[in-house]
Every structure is written in C-alpha cells, then in structure tokens.
Structure 1
C-alpha cells in the first residue's frame, strides 16, 4: 500500500500509525519551490508551526495549484524522500516544522507534526 492509500485508511479508521509513518518515510514526495527569489521549500504557518507542503503525486500538486489560483503557471518542485524531509530538512529549520501532505485534498490530506516519534527528538516540540 502506498502513502495515499495509508492516509485514506487512517482517515477511515482502519489505518495504523506505524504503517502510515513507514509509508511516509519511504515515499518520494513532491515539494514545491516558492515562486521568486525567496528560496527554500514552499510552506505555510499555522498554530506556531511551519508546515512544509508535500504531495504524493503531480495530480495532488496540480489540485493545490488550482486551489491557490495559480494553475496557469509552471510549478517547480523537488522530489524528495519523506525520510530525508524528516531527518535532514526539518532539523535545519529554526522554527517548529512539520509536513502537510496533499493539503488541497479535503479527504486525503494528512499532517505529520513536529513531535517525538515523527521528527528527530531535537526538533520535536514535545521532547523532554
């Protein structure tokens, strides 16, 4: 089962958090790059957390572009393993950072917050 299917199972009540995280870590995710000179990865802020936008496929990224009213332009993105996002990218950020997957899909989105068990302990907001 792939990440999108695990998200569907979790949201439907038949998923397992360990399988979901495992699929996330193994998945190649598409992370859009900001338009312009700001650099980095496209993200948003909510509740004191920076959320990196990541997508399971180009169709999910296209739905995100459509919702943002920017489907007319070409979107540059980075293809990156979920494990690399969690283990290498997030520890380099200054603020609490999680990953928001397929955020334009009302029934298919999932948040991976900056907590112990998901991100490295040094980046987790709930680490002792």
Structure 2
C-alpha cells in the first residue's frame, strides 16, 4: 500500500488563510496533511466541512514528493491523511520510520529540525 501511495498523484487542498500553505488538521499531537486521490473525494471532504461545492485551490503532487520533500519542511511531527471523508477508503500514513524520512519520524523529530 505504501508503494502505491508513493506513486499516486494526490490532490492536496491549499489552506484558506493568507499563508498559502497546505490544508492540515491536528489529531493526537500530529499534524495531518489532507490529501485526496480524486476530485470526488475532495468534494466529499468539502461537504463534510460544510463548504458545499468545493472551489478550493489544490496542488497535485506525488505521494513520494509529499513525504520526502514537503514533510521535512513542516514544523513538528507530520503525516498524511488520505480521503478522510470516505468511511471505507480513508488511509493514514503516520510520521514513522519507513513512511517519512527517518530524521522526521516521531522518534527522530529533533534531528529533522537540526537537518533543516
């Protein structure tokens, strides 16, 4: 499943604020980047948040690039939540060794900050 995630182009909505960053949420002390496998999944997420038809801007990015290049730039433990509005199809990729770069895994977070 991890290999497929890394090869998949994901849609990551941009935050609604002025910072232009990626839309994220917090759960259990971890920042989760919201990502979707298609526009329909993104629309279900928008509707669940009360946004109606989504007119959100989003970035299309490979899962591998998201975890290998983006996560190391984020402050704090960060994982990826895929299709979070889909009951049977949601997936979490937590910030652990083997998913994110080892220096950014929850047991190596201090090294991640030092590496930047």
Q: What's the TM-score, normalizing by structure 1?
A: 0.82
1:105 corresponds, among 66, 83, 86, to 86
Distance 2:107 2:54 in 1: 39
Residue 106 of structure 1 aligns to a residue whose secondary structure is coil
Aligned to 2:21: 40
Aligned to 1:76: 57
Pick closer, same or farther for the CA change 1:67–1:95 going to 2, 3 Å: same
Residue 59 of structure 2 aligns to a residue whose secondary structure is strand
Distance 1:71 1:33 in 2: 16
Q: Shift of the alpha carbon at 1:123?
A: 0.3
Pick closer, same or farther for the CA change 1:102–1:73 going to 2, 3 Å: closer
1:34-70 Cα deviation digits (max 9, x unpaired)? 1131321000000000000000000000000010010
After the TM superposition, which parts of structure 1 deviate over 6 Å for at least 4 consecutive aligned residues? none
Q: Shift of the alpha carbon at 1:72?
A: 3.6
| Map 1:1-128 → 2, pairs under 5 A | 20-127=1-108
Q: What's the TM-score, normalizing by structure 2?
A: 0.90
Distance 1:93 1:35 in 2: 18
Gaps of 5+ in 2: 109-116
Residue 79 of structure 1 aligns to a residue whose secondary structure is strand
